[in-house]
Amino acid sequence: MMNMLKQYIRIKQGLSRRLRVVACRTRAYKYKFYGINIGDRCLFGKEIDFLNGCNTSFGNECIIDSYAQFKCPTSANQNSQYNIRISDNVFIGRGTVIDSNLSIGIGKNTFVAPFCFITDTNHSFTEHDIPVRLQGCWYEPVLIGEDVWIGAHVVIVAGVIVGDSSIIAANSTVTRNVPPGAIVGGSPARFIKFRPGFQ
């Protein structure tokens, strides 16, 4: 009796997993229909939000978890078709927001944990007699390399380059470039050590 119950649970879990995959692939086709550039075998969770989604591009086999947001309010870079470029086999965690007015690139095999915020935009604040929100913005591209692990609740600001194979600890604010293979953490993020095989 116990073996039959275990087998029933295993079959039910397997069926549930297959149905979730079908639903995620169906959502990817729906977003393609809306004009968003999406590669092959991508999986999209529930309630993904796009602002000017045609300025966002996904490679093959990406997994985008539920409630992620991809925002391209304007396109300051006239030389590029896409503000946000996500390469093959990238995972974007639940609730992560990627906000681009210029250029944000994420390399292959990168893992972005839940509730991160990545932006290439910052507010100007040089005039003391004008409210900050009325002083306009400035833009600098953000480039995240390949095989990067970005922990939960990380903020990456305009102008940052994150090197290949680096790790950013959870709850960090990245305000300067991260060397390849480095582990950084804190707010603002500081160098901790290199991964084995890097210097």
Cβ(62)–Cβ(90) under 8 Å? yes
Cβ(129)–Cβ(109) under 8 Å? no
Chain CA centroid to CA 49, Å: 13
**CA–CA dist 185, 161 (Å, integer):** 15
91: nearest Cα among 120, 124, 68: 68
Structure tokens at 174: 């990245």
Length of the chain: 199
- Residues identified as active-site: 123
Report CA-CA distances (Å) from 90 to 57, 93, 121, 131, 136. 12, 10, 22, 39, 32
| Burial (CB count <10 Å: 0-12, 13-18, 19+), residue 186 | middle
